[in-house]
Structure 1
């Protein structure tokens, strides 16, 4: 599966119009809408830029922690791409990042293709990153991650749709959400195959499930197929039960980022 976050190669600048090839990635109709960033759950979403000019999304899951996609923080040469700016939708204050945790197995599964990465099926299920903020967030409420097993999540998703939101390349300064989109299944690699409308920039954005306990993060957007493959392939997000042990390990070691 090709990752479509390296958008500066194919889109000249911060355009307000969808790039021709990327617009075809939507599922026949653009179901996204702007959301009120002062309201839950949207206020907890993050807009992230790296020093290499990559745009990604994320979500605050603890007062010091933002969850995103791992590939966002690697260059084509396999080096770390540090965070230049991070802002939460519900607060325009820029947040400092002092550590970025990445799975050791992710880098080996990414193959540069000149415009982005091809990601191996084995590595795709670990396309996550955890960003440690320098200061505690007190003005925006975190969103908890799904606490249950993959089988429980699969059962819930068979009965209920999800919502996804992020900062896509065609509207990089506007948080757009797709409500009530479908997750087709959790595949054998631990990925959510879903039909939410995502473009470059949405990498790292959360898939959200509304539960009796409130909104919970169930997945992290990773990759999309090429436009020519759209009719045959779904978008892919990391199912959080797949990486729960890894996230718990990182959360217990906030100042020792995994290499």
Structure 2
């Protein structure tokens, strides 16, 4: 049965976007499971931590042996006014308690062509907060299988989220079951609790052939004390990003910075 968003929550959707930078860190709920062991993390090895040479980290996921999907704002420095050199980035697939299933450098980073970090319209900014990282070498392993992406995300859908974040940076955490509360202009509001570092985390829907990525976490917020995650609905922007991937691109400067953590 579809989950219906209360009318008051709908009215607060736009207001929430204006208050994102003021949201206090959210505590992980009891429904967040830390994947500390190989058995716990089986099937999620293609989710990894993206480290920026001590400047911070985000979450990302493989969608091809050499491509990591993440949030575009992760590619800017802590002040948000300069892009981070891809040579400073490392993707740690399945990072868990000091070890990763695979380590790779990044040779190229491409943001969605319509992403502008200084955009006054927060909704438009989040709707295009998507990037691809091309690894310096493909990851080819029977244990690390890239995820397919979903073609649609619907209001009321059940989703799962795997991320690294503040207070749980040394192992991935799984949150299920969350629901898509609302969608508007390419942005999905999801009742998962996220924290700094979870930017770029994949949001999964169940499909016949396994879990597929349907959204990427862009921001966190709270409405009436209820934590929510705001993510990009991949249906349209991912195709646009893939098209831009073959075109040389310069990451634009911004005055609104990403939220980073020291690893």
Common topology (TM > 0.5):
yes
State the TM-score, normalized to the length of structure 2. Answer: 0.75
1:194 aligns with 2:190: yes
Gaps of 5+ in 2: 1-16, 252-263
Pick aligned residue for 1:86 from 76, 87, 91 = 91
Three-state SS of the structure 2 residue aligned to 1:249 is: helix
* Greater percentage in strand: 2
Deviating more after overlay: 51-60 vs 161-170:
51-60
| Distance in 1 (alpha carbons) for counterparts of 2:62 and 2:198 | 15
The offset of 1:107, in angstroms, is 2.7
The offset of 1:52, in angstroms, is 6.0
Go from structure 1 to structure 2 and tell me whether the alpha carbon gap of 1:99 and 1:198 turns closer, same or farther (over 3 Å shift). Answer: same
The offset of 1:95, in angstroms, is 0.4
The offset of 1:46, in angstroms, is 1.3
Go from structure 1 to structure 2 and tell me whether the alpha carbon gap of 1:240 and 1:41 turns closer, same or farther (over 3 Å shift). Answer: farther
Q: Is the 8 A contact 1:30 1:197 kept in 2?
A: no
| Distance in 1 (alpha carbons) for counterparts of 2:113 and 2:239 | 14
RMSD over aligned CA atoms reads 2.6
Q: 2:182: which partner in 1?
A: 185
State the TM-score, normalized to the length of structure 1. Answer: 0.76
Go from structure 1 to structure 2 and tell me whether the alpha carbon gap of 1:80 and 1:37 turns closer, same or farther (over 3 Å shift). Answer: farther
Aligned length in residues: 222
Q: 1:32: which partner in 2?
A: 32
| Distance in 2 (alpha carbons) for counterparts of 1:110 and 1:173 | 33
Q: Is the 8 A contact 2:123 2:187 kept in 1?
A: no
Three-state SS of the structure 2 residue aligned to 1:122 is: helix
Q: 1:122: which partner in 2?
A: 124
Pick aligned residue for 1:246 from 217, 240, 243 = 240
* Greater percentage in helix: 1
The offset of 1:69, in angstroms, is 0.5
Q: 1:99: which partner in 2?
A: 108
Q: 1:217: which partner in 2?
A: 213
Go from structure 1 to structure 2 and tell me whether the alpha carbon gap of 1:171 and 1:110 turns closer, same or farther (over 3 Å shift). Answer: farther
Q: Is the 8 A contact 1:97 1:134 kept in 2?
A: yes
